[in-house]
Structure 1
Amino acid sequence: MHPRPRKKILAGRNNTDTSYPEMVKQLTRIFLLLALASFALTSCASSKKREDQSALAKLWHNMNSHYNGYFNARELMDESLLVLDEQHVDNYTQRLKMFPFLEVTNPAVVGDNLDVAIEKVAIVVKKHPYSNWVDDSYLLVGQAQLIKQDYESAEKTLRFLTTEFRPRPKRKKTKKSKGKGKNQETDESEEEEFVSRREVVKDDPAAARKDRIRAREEAQKERKKLQKEREKENRAAQKEREKERKARIKARKKGIKLAPIKRDTVSKGLENEPEEVPEEELGPVGMISIFGGANRNAEQGGAFGKKSGSYALKHRPAYQEGRLWLAWVYIKRDNFDRAQVILEELRNDRGTFPDVRRRAMAVQAFNYLEQERLEEAISFLEEAAKVAETRNEKARFYYIAGQLHQELKNPGGAEAAFNEAIAARPDYELELGARLNLAQNSFLSGSGSASDAISRLDRMAREDKNLPYESQIYFSAATVALKDGNKQLGGEYLRKALDSPSGGDNQRLESYVLLGDLAYDDSDYLSAKFAYDTTLQVMGRNDERYPGVNGRRDQLSGIAQNLTDITRSDSLLRIGTMPEADRAKWAQNLFQSQRAAQVAASTGPAIGGPALGRAGATATSNSEFFAYNTSTMRRGGRDFERRWGDRPLTDNWRLGSRGNPDIFDDTNESLTAGNESSMATEDEINALLEGIPVTEADQTSTRAQLARNYYDLGREYRERLQNNEKALDALGILEKQFPGSDNEAEAWYYQYLMNQELGRKSVADGYAKKLRDKYADSKFERLANDPSYAAGLLAADDEVGKEYETAQRTFDAGNYRKANQLATVGRGKLADDHPLNARYDLLLAMSSGGTEGKQAYVDGLQRVVADYPNTPENTRAKEILRLLGESSVRVAGQTAVQGSRGFKESFAELHYLLVVFDEPTVNLNDAKISVSEFNNKYNKRDRLRITNVYIGTDVKLPILILRRFKSGEEAMTYVANARENEQEFLDGGKFGYELIAITQSNYRELLKQRSATEYLEWYQENY
């Protein structure tokens, strides 16, 4: 165990010059040293106070805490950051993220590593509470919690760090009073730089007060000195400017034109930093070097003219970094003012470490960006770029500054920033993004035309090195063309960007958004709807544009559906009115074109291949094409095997047994046979012609539906888009092609209103006359020709509204019985389609609860939920039912318990997760292994238990049970993560299953029913 001492002992024994007593002395000395070391190690228990620790004990604690727990935790943290960096893909068409690792949508990917890192440093804190690495351990915990987006816990951890480990002012050396020993008379000691707050309290209050006063006085002296220096500099600058002004006046009098004076307008943020930062490694594109790394403890020298202390031979406290990260947490929690206070102190304090102050510059810019204070963010971005440690970090900051200049319509500043980004020599992708922006910027700044910029971009697209970025370049060309007002050329370049195989998800997303907006602006609403549909398949819900795109898609849904139905009905009528021979010929041509398309698809690239990308895979998941339906494919495989047997997967399998696949010797014969095989049979033709209106009755029905579609289309244009011109076009077609339709009176009234709004009085009067001639005394005729009738309807509506308000005020006053009576009377006066019905029924339910009890309350609310879907009253009723612990499901003719199928909704109750499999023959062992591996990766600390049960009467259905979760919210978080990582959860596609959350009480009810069907339906409606 101790090779070196053993070697020395043996040498002493064999050496004739070493006497036996001398060897005994050496052995005694060695054993004494070993005993002292053993005593020191055993006496350095963590329960001892800091002042009781020996020097050897302190060394042992520091060595173990640093090179064991903390080192391994830091390695896990670095690995997690690399994973997040690899996952992040920059979208250079949008404003880049300053710190992408904080913007990830699924931090659970690295959650397991970060949890292990937290466990390791927790052991450090527990076993070595007085080591120098305890504050670093708390800092790492806060960093991990911030990356996991657990902002509340991160704030608590970092506030504890900055409170417990704040630095103490250094005291001057003082002589201690004479003690018993002689050597204690002049014993001088220097205090440690920081201690826990709990130990500071034990110190002498008077001495601590003197320290605070002395520190305050020194800081005041430094401020005065700095103020005097700045005033002196200002006076010198003023004298220089006055001298320049007089010189220019004198030159102007002599007729001499001097060059304009160029002044440095950039604010000085780091006064004592070197002007040129030494160039280091490239650094990752998406990750800023925020963790300091190996150079952290080697940082020496202070800022603003004063050193913060040398830490080459001693440990540097983590207090300042803890405050910096606490500011970060405050920003993520929208507490910008508290973050601003910390950042200003870090930047202005002379004792701040240079690396911390460098990062404080970047975090300050981030603080302004989060508040959309772009002009203030630019200066700090540029200052942070000047002192950045890596080339990519420097270029990234300049790139974002350039983007902000563009948003502020400042092309000159943008050009300068992008040139700085290129000069930093970053990764080529970032450099290319800057060059593409410069190509656009030359047009925006007026130094070049749009055609020149597009030509430049076309040349870039043709370069071999830019082939992987072809889609991005075409998108930039489209942006230039659109800004120049050339929508046609812009659309062409957008389609080129989509057709390019180099386009990734982000590029396709941006292209589809622009195409949708172009089609929307051109009133091509069907194309816009399809573009927005595709956009939403790949756009994340956290994208700030998602609500707008989703709103437009919903706005266009009815219009697109009517346009699609009109096209389909027109085609069916056209084919149905053909002669029978022409219809058969059309069906034959359609069959052959479909056959050719299937052959092309079978010989083309695989579906979902690299060229299709993630967007294509997403699109196929929602497709109705038969080849994407797994159950249809399995059924087809069984039918094939039943007819043809188990055949090998070979080409030309029908001819495989004949020995010669080239059975046709003559080319013409081969072609003839091929043509015959592509001819449709009579049954196939009849299948294609199914649904085509051939009879007079079917054609009449199709025309009626077509007329209804045109009427609905006109209403959608008016009510959804307020586009009266398009609405008049649709209703004009209805009037011309389908005279006397069921909605003719309403259509004429709408045309009357819209023409009046457009100032076409004569046209509006014409429609009023038509209504008077054909639909005299009807509601719409009186609305158009009798102003008093419309006023009467408004007065009646106003009276109804007043009656409802009276009933509502009575309810608010607590008179539930009277409110119920008023609501009953008011509800009885309304028509079935009156918009106040839902509000009256909700008021009746609430007033019934005050007079008849809870059951009447629940029944009334369930009626509102069932009768008024997609209304605010429906949402309010569901919220009340949830608070009452009841289900929102109601089945007519059943009691409340039966209506809720025996299940009750309670998110606060303990929850299980059920994996309900589709087939009873599933391999549960494989499923358990897959789920266990998923839990070990994403939910290791939750210690979930997995068991299985079989339910059912005739066929036993296997179910995996995951126990357990504190609330429904935690369970649904697990469900969302499992769906997002389906390939890891249950091998995505290998198992057919449903993953559902269930409370303990509902689980017992499910076991009683011996079926999961009822609960699955209830779960879909309530969760």
Structure 2
Amino acid sequence: MKHLSFSYLFLFLQIICLVTFFGCSQESTGLVSTAYHNTTAHYNAYFLARQKINELETTLFKNRQDDYNRLLDIIQPLDSNIAKSQTAASEYIIQKASLAIQRHKNSKWVDDSYLLVGTAQFYQMDFPNALKAFKYVNTISKGKQERHQALINIFRTYVQMQEYSNAKAVVNFIKKENLSKENLAEFYLIRAQLHKQEQEYLQAAGTLALAVRLMPKNEQKARVHFVMGQIYEQLNNSKQAYKNFRSTLKNNPSYELSFYAKLHMLQSYEVGKNEDAKKALVYFKKMLRDEKNIDYKDKIYYQMGMYEAKRSNFKQAIKHLQTSVSASKDDIQKSYSYLKLGEIYFENLQDYELAKAYYDSTIQALPTTAVNYESIVKRQQVLDNFVQQVTTIQTEDSLQRLAKMDTASLDKYLDELFAKEEEQRKKIEAKQEMESIQQAGSIFANNEQTANNRNRNSSNGQNARWYFYNVAVVSQGGTAFARKWGNRPLEDNWRRSAKEASVDFSEPGQPATSDSTESTPVVSVENQNEEKKQQIIASLPSTPEAMAASNTKIEEAYFNLGKIYNLELQEHKNADSVFVTLLTRFPDSDFEPEALYFLYLIHKELAQPEQQEAHKNTLITKHPNSAFAKLISNPNYVQEGNMADAQVKNLYSNAYQYYEDRNYEEANNLVDQAIQQYPENSLTERLQLLKVLIIGRTQNKETFKKALTGFMEQYPFSSLIPYVENILRNTETVTGGIQRNN
């Protein structure tokens, strides 16, 4: 009996094992099999991968680097640094999700696992494979939720890749679907990012308004409201901007986001209303007094400067922006403050020299991702060229004035100049020293008050009162000193750029002690000034040749300055003034035809027909054969000139081919034909040189040398001169030949 019972038990266990074995098969669609694989896939590999993807996305959101001086991205863009930092997490997600796919093929979590694989590949910036995974899910998935997520991820990937036509095609598919609340919110956010990237700001704001209605109250929703506020700022809709910045504060923002929302709320105050302006300035000052904002003072002063600039109170704006720079330890924030200063001096005050200085400082640290970065760099380059021309004119004019003085007057003038410079230098040093002391004192006073508040009941509270007992205060004072003076060695006369050498008391032949400084010759201020005086005198244009060279520099600088005003800065009135000065001061200038043509165009732009006609008549009368006169007289001159150039190039090419084939007679005939039919063309110099080279092949050496010399005299500024000079040096072995211009 016992034996029979054991046999039944053994048979039952075998049946259970067989059912379990066949039921767990990945190929089976049975109830037991699908239940097993669904449970195992969901709560093992898929669960771990899903958990890791949540951690990755939370980490990316928390670690984002937002530049609040520019319009924020709605969906954080990826870059190679982000992808690299998340490599381990992404690989882990792919590994776990792949296990769910490979070991549980008949579970309902396969398509979800493919979504995780594609998402991990997206964060690795492996966009082609990510798209394959998402498209596969969209094709095979029977669940609407999974297909919708796949479509949204395809949309996001195309937006990240900036393939906007493909992204818009996906939008048309998604719009037909009945999305869940969560998926619809994500879709709206990505679509708003697409509008933002295409600078469709009104559409972006409208789409974000749809998204925030579907989002829970959290920091992400606060950030979306902040971006909406920024967009409305760009659209000059202060009312909607203020409303959204206020909504930012109601949705649990981080302290930093809250801080910037408050600053931007103040920027939304109407600058035309004195009452609003007073409220804004009072609140700015309140923020400055808040201890929590001690590390944000540079940002507050920057926004104060921006607000005053909006009110056209440029003097106060400049003051606040300069304070922002001096208070900042953030190079990027400094670059934005420098940029705004440069813009004020450039656009509002037309002080291009100061603008140039601030743009130079801007470029040092401005992020390449900054809005209009390329145009900012271009403006800096234009201003650099501008200041070069102005400096040339001022320098040469000053040198010419000094050159006309007699020796006694020149000595007296330079001595007075050096004395004023020394006096000014001392004043600046004294002012900077006082500012440094005041700043250190201010830091001490603030920190002493804080220390007293904290240690009011402490027995050693009195000891914390003295400045040098407080390490934190001393450190801050040192930072303030370094900001003003740089890292100076601890020594006497540290402020002077040229210090007197210390006296070395060591015995002759012995090395100086470690406390002594290197012995340098003592140079008195008088000797320094005398040396500078001799350098200035040596640079004066005292001979007719030097004076002519100086005038040439001034003439070229005026012409270049006029072009910069007219073409680069769009300052037509200033351009007019500069060109008139050029023609008045240098009536026989080689630049006269082009300058007159610019004046003709300037007065046409300014709608001043009388002046326009006057410059036109002067140009045609004095320079009838110039290209500029022909541009005015013949509207088709450029088109005809292009056609002529094409024909000349063809003649030149054929002539050169004959020259290479040693058919010098035909080559010479074609050169003469080109010169006769097209006396003014872009290849005149090359045609004339080819004619000279033919002489070198067909006539004696002396005739050839004479022809080469004649070419150099006729075209002294030609780019071909170095080549001709080389031929002259090697007339014994010259074979002839120049680069062919096809």
| TM-score in terms of structure 1 length | 0.48
Is the counterpart of residue 679 in structure 1 residue 524 in structure 2? yes
Q: Aligned partner of 1:88: which letter?
A: Q
Is the counterpart of residue 337 in structure 1 residue 313 in structure 2? no
Quickly say closer, same or farther: Cα 1:390–1:537, change in 2 above 3 A.
farther
> 2 CA distance for matches of 1:612 and 1:119?
53
> 2 CA distance for matches of 1:406 and 1:546?
20
State the match for 1:519 in structure 2.
345
Question: Is the Cα contact below 8 Å between 2:137 and 2:150 reproduced in 1?
Answer: yes
Residue of structure 1 aligned with 2:244, choices 405, 417, 423: 417
Question: Is the Cα contact below 8 Å between 1:330 and 1:338 reproduced in 2?
Answer: no
* 1:90-169 equivalence runs, <5 A: 90-91=67-68, 93-100=69-76, 102=77, 104=79, 106-110=81-85, 112-113=87-88, 116-117=91-92, 119-121=94-96, 123-124=98-99, 127-130=102-105, 131=107, 133-167=109-143
State the match for 2:151 in structure 1.
323
State the match for 1:66 in structure 2.
46
> 2 CA distance for matches of 1:809 and 1:894?
18
Instruction: Give, in angstroms, the shift of residue 445 of structure 1.
Output: 8.9
Residue of structure 2 aligned with 1:481, choices 295, 308, 315: 308
Instruction: Give, in angstroms, the shift of residue 720 of structure 1.
Output: 3.2
> 2 CA distance for matches of 1:60 and 1:732?
88
Residue aligned with 1:435, SS:
helix
> 2 CA distance for matches of 1:121 and 1:825?
82
Quickly say closer, same or farther: Cα 1:560–1:461, change in 2 above 3 A.
same
Residue of structure 2 aligned with 1:552, choices 344, 362, 379: 379
Alignment deviations for residues 844-871 of structure 1 (CA, whole Å, 9 cap, x no partner): xxxxxxxxxxxxxxxxxxxxxxx99xxx
Alignment deviations for residues 778-830 of structure 1 (CA, whole Å, 9 cap, x no partner): 987134999997766766655433345679999xxxxx99xxx9999997679
Residue aligned with 2:175, SS:
helix
* 1:531-542 equivalence runs, <5 A: 531-542=358-369
Q: Aligned partner of 2:277: which letter?
A: A
Alignment deviations for residues 317-359 of structure 1 (CA, whole Å, 9 cap, x no partner): 744432332232244431343343454355x34xx3x433443
Alignment deviations for residues 167-205 of structure 1 (CA, whole Å, 9 cap, x no partner): 28xxxxxxxxxxxxxxxxxxxxxxxxxxxxxxxxxxxxx
Instruction: Give, in angstroms, the shift of residue 88 of structure 1.
Output: 1.0
Quickly say closer, same or farther: Cα 1:677–1:745, change in 2 above 3 A.
same
> 1 CA distance for matches of 2:670 and 2:82?
51
> 2 CA distance for matches of 1:87 and 1:741?
63
Q: Aligned partner of 1:344: which letter?
A: K
Question: Is the Cα contact below 8 Å between 1:76 and 1:113 reproduced in 2?
Answer: no
Q: Aligned partner of 1:696: which letter?
A: S
Instruction: Give, in angstroms, the shift of residue 471 of structure 1.
Output: 2.3
> 1 CA distance for matches of 2:129 and 2:417?
69
Residue of structure 1 aligned with 2:574, choices 723, 726, 737: 726
State the match for 2:254 in structure 1.
427
Is the counterpart of residue 75 in structure 1 residue 55 in structure 2? no
Residue aligned with 1:424, SS:
coil
Question: Is the Cα contact below 8 Å between 1:450 and 1:481 reproduced in 2?
Answer: no
Question: Is the Cα contact below 8 Å between 1:708 and 1:743 reproduced in 2?
Answer: no
Instruction: Give, in angstroms, the shift of residue 693 of structure 1.
Output: 0.5
Instruction: Give, in angstroms, the shift of residue 158 of structure 1.
Output: 0.9
Question: Is the Cα contact below 8 Å between 1:327 and 1:342 reproduced in 2?
Answer: no
Residue of structure 2 aligned with 1:693, choices 533, 539, 552: 539
Q: Aligned partner of 2:156: which letter?
A: W
Q: Which runs of 5+ in 2 are unaligned?
A: 441-473, 487-508, 652-656, 659-666, 688-717, 720-734
Is the counterpart of residue 507 in structure 1 residue 507 in structure 2? no
Question: Is the Cα contact below 8 Å between 1:755 and 1:763 reproduced in 2?
Answer: no
* 1:7-46 equivalence runs, <5 A: none
Question: Is the Cα contact below 8 Å between 1:162 and 1:322 reproduced in 2?
Answer: yes
Residue aligned with 1:696, SS:
coil
Kindly, what percent of the aligned residue pairs are identical? 17
> 2 CA distance for matches of 1:439 and 1:728?
42
Instruction: Give, in angstroms, the shift of residue 410 of structure 1.
Output: 3.3
> 1 CA distance for matches of 2:19 and 2:676?
95
Question: Is the Cα contact below 8 Å between 2:97 and 2:116 reproduced in 1?
Answer: no
Instruction: Give, in angstroms, the shift of residue 412 of structure 1.
Output: 2.9
Question: Is the Cα contact below 8 Å between 2:267 and 2:303 reproduced in 1?
Answer: yes
Quickly say closer, same or farther: Cα 1:148–1:444, change in 2 above 3 A.
farther
> 2 CA distance for matches of 1:90 and 1:462?
24
Question: Is the Cα contact below 8 Å between 2:134 and 2:150 reproduced in 1?
Answer: yes
Alignment deviations for residues 616-674 of structure 1 (CA, whole Å, 9 cap, x no partner): x9xxxxxxxxxxxxxxxxxxxxxxxxxx99999x664559xxxxxxxxxxxxxxxxxx9
Alignment deviations for residues 447-499 of structure 1 (CA, whole Å, 9 cap, x no partner): 94434423432332233332322222223222332222333333333223222
State the match for 1:9 in structure 2.
none
State the match for 1:529 in structure 2.
356
* 1:745-764 equivalence runs, <5 A: 745-746=592-593, 749=596, 753=600, 757=604
Residue aligned with 2:231, SS:
helix
Residue aligned with 2:270, SS:
helix
> 2 CA distance for matches of 1:741 and 1:645?
70
Instruction: Give, in angstroms, the shift of residue 159 of structure 1.
Output: 0.9
Q: Which runs of 5+ in 1 are unaligned?
A: 1-20, 169-316, 618-643, 656-673, 772-777, 811-815, 841-866, 869-891, 897-1023
Alignment deviations for residues 514-540 of structure 1 (CA, whole Å, 9 cap, x no partner): 323222223322333333343344344
Instruction: Give, in angstroms, the shift of residue 744 of structure 1.
Output: 7.2
Question: Is the Cα contact below 8 Å between 2:84 and 2:124 reproduced in 1?
Answer: no
Residue of structure 2 aligned with 1:707, choices 548, 555, 566: 555
Quickly say closer, same or farther: Cα 1:801–1:76, change in 2 above 3 A.
same
Quickly say closer, same or farther: Cα 1:161–1:788, change in 2 above 3 A.
closer
> 2 CA distance for matches of 1:894 and 1:389?
79
> 2 CA distance for matches of 1:36 and 1:565?
100
Report the aligned-residue RMSD: 5.8
Residue aligned with 1:90, SS:
coil
Q: Aligned partner of 2:336: which letter?
A: E
Residue aligned with 1:97, SS:
coil
Quickly say closer, same or farther: Cα 1:36–1:66, change in 2 above 3 A.
farther
Residue aligned with 2:240, SS:
helix
Q: Aligned partner of 2:555: which letter?
A: A
Question: Is the Cα contact below 8 Å between 1:40 and 1:54 reproduced in 2?
Answer: no
Q: Aligned partner of 1:729: which letter?
A: S
Question: Is the Cα contact below 8 Å between 1:749 and 1:780 reproduced in 2?
Answer: no
Q: Aligned partner of 1:155: which letter?
A: L
> 1 CA distance for matches of 2:233 and 2:320?
22
| TM-score in terms of structure 2 length | 0.63
Residue aligned with 2:63, SS:
helix
